[in-house]
Structure 1
Amino acid sequence: MRLAALLYLLLAGTMCSAETLVYFGTYTRGNAASEGIYVATLDEATGALSQPRLAAKADNPSFVAIAPGGKTLYAVSETPWTDDDSVGIVAYSIGDDGTLKQLNQRSTRGGAACHVAVHPSGKSLGVANYSGGSCASFPINDDGSLGEIASFHQHVGSSVNPRRQQEAHAHSINYNADGTQAFVADLGMDQIVIYDVDSESGKLAPSQQRSLKMPAGGGPRHFCFTPAGKIALANLELTSDVALLRYDDAARSLSMLEVASTLPGGQAVPGNSTAECLVHPNGRTAYVSNRGHNSIAVFRIDASNADIQWIENEPTQGEIPRGFGIDPSGKFVVVANQNSDNVVSLQIDPETGSLSPTGSEITVGTPVNVRFLKR
């Protein structure tokens, strides 16, 4: 009996120690109250967020990504590029208490590194440089640190918006499920630029289909796949739209299907722009954040008919919702409101995908990006 009781207590302790960490990338420059990367916990039963803690001091770590296995985190440093020593990407090990310890840092050879994605194998990562209008990739060493740069590609081009599209502006990089290709949304060129990926070295090389041309003046910003990998989304920052795309992995090709407005009734909201797009793990619902309208647009996706339909817009209870994340259980959306220094959680209706407030709100200075680690 004593042995059985001891085993029960050990098992119960292990179960109770399980937690879902939430990491927040932020802006630290200017009048920002942030000091770097913050971490909180999410209660996956209620959606309640704990008070955030500083995980690591960092310079403008606006976007972070966590490697498969949950041992390391990578953060961009969205700062100007002045020379070959300018830091663009930083590697961290994740401690037992959720804090971060810097492993090393690298130059991304371009200004304003704004987005990072880890290859599905965990052996490399890709970075998009916004003002540099370029992308780069790096191998990941066995200890999680970053090796020397594996590849660098300078984008060249423009589009029709005279203020935002006079030159290339790479805004995100994402891999397909098996990591054979990478997709860089370039806001300045109105293109999704496509690269083939060497799985061992992490090197990027232009694919046979060099790019997919997007609607003129749309400004593709972020990009994501549905779980099945046959459908993708790209939010168009400048026109408050989301584009539904078809991906043929056998042909290594991407094509346009249709475009939907992220605003109620498609009515323009002066000053609005979109920031993030994500697909729910069930593959039936998609979400896009509106900065200005201060809402999350909810869409239903019908992959079989290649159709996307607007459901609703849910207020984010703050100003300029930048990034957001869907928790691992698929029950909650956690939203970072950049200009009001607050993060809120919204509950996802399991049937419709619609959102409603949980009542949980925490303060994080200038939050930009949300990433989860369940362990």
Structure 2
Amino acid sequence: MTVYKTYTIGVTITGAANGIGPILQNNLGDDLFIPAITTGLTSFTFSTPVLDGAAYSVTQRIRAKAPSQDCSSITPVSGTVNGADVTVSITCVLSTVVPKFAFVTNSAADTVSAFNIDGVSGNLTAATPTPTTASGAVPSAVFVDPTGQFAYVTNKDANSVTVYGINPDSGVLTVIDADGATADFQPSIATGYAPMSIAVHPSGKFAYVANELNLAGGNSISAYSINITSGALTAIDADGATDGNQASIATGVEPYAITIDPLGKFAYVANYASYNVSAYTIDQITGALTPVADSPFAAGSNTHSIVIDPTGKYAYAANGGGDISAYSIGGAGALTQIVCANGVLTTCSGSNYVAGSAPRSIAVDPYTGLYAYVANSGGGVSAFGIDPATGALSAIDADAATPGDNLTIAAGSVPISINVDPSGQFVYVANLFSDNISVYSIGVGGALTPLPTLSLSTGSGPTSVTTTQ
């Protein structure tokens, strides 16, 4: 009987700055998700050993971030196993982030719009030759996977997710097979009732959908694995704490938004009608969710949106009642409220931070993590600075062009979704009733300046906007 010896492939990695690590692969598989890198030397090992005499090749699948770093080597890190474990060394370098595409869901037109972003000015131009692509009924949210290859759109009235391939040159979207468990081509895959939001795990391997309506199949999260080659989704057991295969896991009442921390350890859901945030741990192997101890955590009234800062230390929830709840994130995923303190421009509502009228969506600058912006559906955009040491918010002058202290800057009619591009230079706001996108540049201190494309048209009823690099 022949015994075939196997050996491990290890990696030592040095970052150009402290940050969230990359995802590496050996032989185009066996993903190694490195949770954090430092300027010192840290070591990791791929889970799958390699046969003696077999080839290995370590490559980067997803870049390091916060700040963005390129951890691919100048020369390939590859070779042949020769009777011993192998350790390769990788040094990361800071990389320039340039925004590339923007995507917008149009709820009244059942379409998704695609735009090219000018990396210098932030201006948008419609993707050509096909600037809009059909979706399911009433698209509510769009999310792009970490590799920038696939876009996922929740269709609220169709109870489904549509999957798109992204043309890397033009940004044009093409509907692709959504259901990895069905042999025939399926343009969409079923969700629970009234899907409002979707988030993709930082590894690109799992997707989670918040199903909003307070009916059977709603008030839940649906979970899927992702085929990283095709982008197709396959429903998985969503509930790691319950025996058997569970199609979903319960949330609070009317979950409007879901987000995942940058390290992929926790998922958080904003529950509109129960005024709280549900928290879950994520099984890194199966993707199943398990409620965090003491979840849900209190928020303000009508919690619409939740976002995590790029370090994974802080969470912020936009409450339709007029304020923002801020939290620190514990090691086990629990949320501890950061109590508001009145300041020069900062006003408190109990423990929460006062924003504009009817906050609907919140975004944090993903590059520096120093600023947060809020789309207030009652009108305008609010701006806050973030204390990196405590996570506390401080209201800042939102309008760089208008003298005096301006707690908001004008947007279109009913701002409903907000996004800061990956470079941290520009802010994009979807305006539901004026059918357009407001675009701003971010200046010194976080203040905003409207760009000439303030009235850039979308399809009818834009509900969600996201950007890629």
Distance 1:363 1:184 in 2: 30
Residue 139 of structure 1 corresponds to which residue in structure 2?
Answer: 225
Match of 1:198 among 279, 283, 304: 283
Residue 333 of structure 2 corresponds to which residue in structure 1?
Answer: 252
Residue 4 of structure 1 corresponds to which residue in structure 2?
Answer: none
Distance 1:118 1:231 in 2: 19
Residue 54 of structure 2 corresponds to which residue in structure 1?
Answer: none
Verify: 1:62 aligned to 2:140, yes or no: yes
Distance 2:99 2:299 in 1: 40
Verify: 1:116 aligned to 2:212, yes or no: no
Superposed CA deviations along residues 299-355 of structure 1, whole A, max 9, x for unmatched, are 111132442111133434310011121122211111111101111211100x21010
Residue 212 of structure 2 corresponds to which residue in structure 1?
Answer: 130
Distance 2:192 2:135 in 1: 22
Tell me, yes or no, if the aligned pair for 2:206 and 2:226 is still in contact at 8 Å.
Answer: yes
Q: How has the CA–CA distance of structure 1 residues 56 and 260 changed in structure 2, closer, same or farther, with 3 Å as cutoff?
A: farther
Distance 1:35 1:127 in 2: 19
Cα-Cα RMSD? 2.4
**What secondary structure does 1:352 align onto?**
helix
Query: 5 Å matches for 1:85-234?
Result: 87-96=159-168, 97=170, 98-104=172-178, 105-110=188-193, 112-131=194-213, 132-142=218-228, 143-151=230-238, 152-155=248-251, 168-215=253-300, 218-234=301-317
Overall identity of the aligned pairs, in %:
26
| Aligned-residue offset at 1:266 | 5.7
| Aligned-residue offset at 1:275 | 1.1
Tell me, yes or no, if the aligned pair for 1:26 and 1:63 is still in contact at 8 Å.
Answer: no
| Aligned-residue offset at 1:267 | 11
Q: How has the CA–CA distance of structure 1 residues 40 and 260 changed in structure 2, closer, same or farther, with 3 Å as cutoff?
A: farther
Superposed CA deviations along residues 190-220 of structure 1, whole A, max 9, x for unmatched, are 22111111122221122223221224xx122
**What secondary structure does 1:202 align onto?**
coil
Distance 1:219 1:297 in 2: 18
- Which entry has the higher C-alpha Rg, 1 or 2? 2
Distance 2:222 2:159 in 1: 13
Residue 154 of structure 2 corresponds to which residue in structure 1?
Answer: 76
Residue 25 of structure 1 corresponds to which residue in structure 2?
Answer: 105
Verify: 1:44 aligned to 2:150, yes or no: no
Structure 1 stretches of 4+ moved >6 Å: none
Amino acid paired to 1:67: D
Most deviating of 34-43 and 91-100:
91-100
Tell me, yes or no, if the aligned pair for 1:316 and 1:337 is still in contact at 8 Å.
Answer: no
Tell me, yes or no, if the aligned pair for 2:292 and 2:334 is still in contact at 8 Å.
Answer: no
Tell me, yes or no, if the aligned pair for 1:94 and 1:101 is still in contact at 8 Å.
Answer: no
Distance 1:355 1:229 in 2: 25
Superposed CA deviations along residues 235-265 of structure 1, whole A, max 9, x for unmatched, are 111x11011111122x43211112589xx88
| Aligned-residue offset at 1:114 | 0.6
Residue 14 of structure 1 corresponds to which residue in structure 2?
Answer: none
Task: Give the number of the structure with larger relative contact order, counting CA–CA contacts within 8 Å between residues 6 or more apart.
Answer: 1
Residue 160 of structure 1 corresponds to which residue in structure 2?
Answer: none
Q: How has the CA–CA distance of structure 1 residues 306 and 70 changed in structure 2, closer, same or farther, with 3 Å as cutoff?
A: closer
Q: How has the CA–CA distance of structure 1 residues 331 and 211 changed in structure 2, closer, same or farther, with 3 Å as cutoff?
A: same
Distance 1:305 1:57 in 2: 41
Tell me, yes or no, if the aligned pair for 1:61 and 1:78 is still in contact at 8 Å.
Answer: yes
Distance 1:305 1:95 in 2: 41
Amino acid paired to 2:264: G
**What secondary structure does 2:233 align onto?**
coil
Residue 323 of structure 2 corresponds to which residue in structure 1?
Answer: 241
Tell me, yes or no, if the aligned pair for 2:115 and 2:124 is still in contact at 8 Å.
Answer: yes
Distance 1:279 1:267 in 2: 20
Superposed CA deviations along residues 244-300 of structure 1, whole A, max 9, x for unmatched, are 111122x43211112589xx886999x9411111111211111111111x2110011
Tell me, yes or no, if the aligned pair for 1:64 and 1:75 is still in contact at 8 Å.
Answer: yes
- Please, which runs of 5 or more residues in structure 2 have no aligned partner? 1-97, 179-187, 239-247, 398-406
Amino acid paired to 1:285: Y
Tell me, yes or no, if the aligned pair for 1:129 and 1:169 is still in contact at 8 Å.
Answer: yes
Distance 1:298 1:51 in 2: 28
TM-score under structure 2 normalisation? 0.65
Residue 13 of structure 1 corresponds to which residue in structure 2?
Answer: none
Tell me, yes or no, if the aligned pair for 2:136 and 2:160 is still in contact at 8 Å.
Answer: no
- Please, which runs of 5 or more residues in structure 1 have no aligned partner? 1-17, 29-33, 80-85, 157-167
Q: How has the CA–CA distance of structure 1 residues 353 and 241 changed in structure 2, closer, same or farther, with 3 Å as cutoff?
A: same
| Aligned-residue offset at 1:95 | 2.7
Amino acid paired to 1:358: L
Amino acid paired to 1:315: I
Tell me, yes or no, if the aligned pair for 1:336 and 1:342 is still in contact at 8 Å.
Answer: yes
